[in-house]
Structure 1
Amino acid sequence: MYNDLSYLEKDALKELFNLSMGRAANTMNEIFSKNIELSIPECIILPREEILKLHNINSTTITSVSQTFFSSTGDEGIGFLVFPQVNLERLVYFMTKEADLNPDSKEIQKEVITEFGNLILNACMGTIANLTMIDFKFNLAEFYEGELNKLVDFDRVKSDFETVLVIYVDYKIENENIEGYLLFMLNWSLIDYFINEVMKTI
């Protein structure tokens, strides 16, 4: 099931989320008065139990903002914006170095990633809604700091979210490159619906 996506389907998903990133970056540029570029080099789909094998976030402290969403198709899922802690610290530094703020402050880090999370997750779901004609409702964003395995733990997150859409996000801020991730934890039927609807638009 997880290896059945064609090259065209993978490319369509990547293009879809690149549209979202462009929209989010434009908003961020206005809010933060920074030259921010966002791009998607890769999208992959994994079974939930393999998420811990992801390079760079499986053995380190991560920070995340998540939102649970509900679709008009009757499905639901969770979107996570995830940074390895060291990457978040670099991100916050480049966002605050010209301001009278301490980039090491946990509260500042929380504010920055929450703002990024709201903008990026909403941009992604808004683009999906526009292209697929699916309506979404959202719960309030939740902040998390800790280990990745606890973030996606079956005791913490619904067990029927068996599929994870992993989106690698490259952030370019003032010519500095920082890597983060988007994780959408879904059931397979919703992934399949996304793909079918996206393919109709190309």
Structure 2
Amino acid sequence: MTMILTADEQDVVTELMNMGVGRAAGAFSRLVNDEVILSVPEVAFVGIAEAQRVFDASIPDVLAGVRQSFDGFIAGAAALLFPEERSLELVRAIIGEDMPAEEISELEQETLAEIGNIILNNCLATIANALHSEISSSLPETYTGDKQGFLSFLCDPPPEARMSAEPPLDGSSSVLLLVQIDFSLRRRAIQGFLAFAIDLRSAASFRAKINEYLEALSG
């Protein structure tokens, strides 16, 4: 199932994602002490099958990433992805060049979770603030695996919700907001990709907030 936006609504979502990722990039840049270069976000709402086609065509076969569930005026999950073979390089950018490789490997999951927490929370908070809404997120979960398994990981409920009576995100209840943003560190060949899965039960609320934002701009 897809969510069709008007041109104006699409522009607002793109602007909000640009703001969110820009703020996140600033925090990330301070963390790694390097300039973070961003592309203009490409934003699309797609169903699970179409999302898999996009992933097959545009992201690496093996991924390292971080997922966080969120709830509030919209509910769903967000993920930050990197090529798996570059993840240790990313960790090294944060904890320094001098640490032995085996120690860096031990810290990889913890450091990736911290990176995801910074970037995803900054994105979500910026969007919520711009729409005068509130949002909260779960603790980050890390992922290492192939892109075929990633969508299941993205749409699974977080650990604290897995015993809940609330049904998880799945192919019938979620729409993916795919945000394709190339971001790289100026001194390192590291790129990333963002994906958001929005529960269709809250997609109408998201659209209503977008239109309130548009009305405020035109008023």
* Structure 2 runs not aligned, ≥5 long: 158-167
| Helix, strand or coil at the partner of 1:16 | helix
The 5-angstrom pairing of residues 14-163 of structure 1 reads: 14-53=14-53, 54=55, 55-57=57-59, 60-71=61-72, 73=73, 76-88=75-87, 91-92=90-91, 95=93, 99-101=97-99, 105-153=104-152, 156-157=156-157, 158=168, 159=170, 161-163=173-175
State the one-letter code of the partner of 1:17. M
State the one-letter code of the partner of 1:147. D
- After superposing the two structures, state which structure 1 stretch, 116-125 or 183-192, moved more: 183-192
Kindly report the root-mean-square deviation, in angstroms, between the aligned alpha carbons of the 2 structures.
2.9
Distance 1:107 1:28 in 2: 21
Q: Within the alignment, does 1:194 sit opposite 2:206 as a pair?
A: yes
How many residue pairs get aligned? The number is 198
State the one-letter code of the partner of 2:136. K
Question: Contact 2:185–2:191 at 8 Å: present in 1 too?
Answer: no
Q: Higher helix share goes to which structure?
A: 2
Shift of 1:191: 2.9
TM-score scaled by length of structure 1: 0.81
Shift of 1:113: 2.5
How big is each residue's C-alpha offset from its partner over 1:7-47, in whole Å with a ceiling of 9 and x where there is no partner? 22222111101111221122222222222233443011110
Identity over aligned pairs, percent: 26
Shift of 1:130: 0.5
Q: 1:90 to 1:171 in 2, by over 3 A?
A: farther
Partner of 1:9: 9
Distance 1:166 1:78 in 2: 12
Question: Contact 1:170–1:177 at 8 Å: present in 2 too?
Answer: no
* Structure 1 runs not aligned, ≥5 long: none
Structure 1 consecutive aligned stretches of length 4 or more whose deviation exceeds 6 Å: none
Asked which structure has the greater CA Rg, the reply is 2
Q: Higher strand share goes to which structure?
A: 1
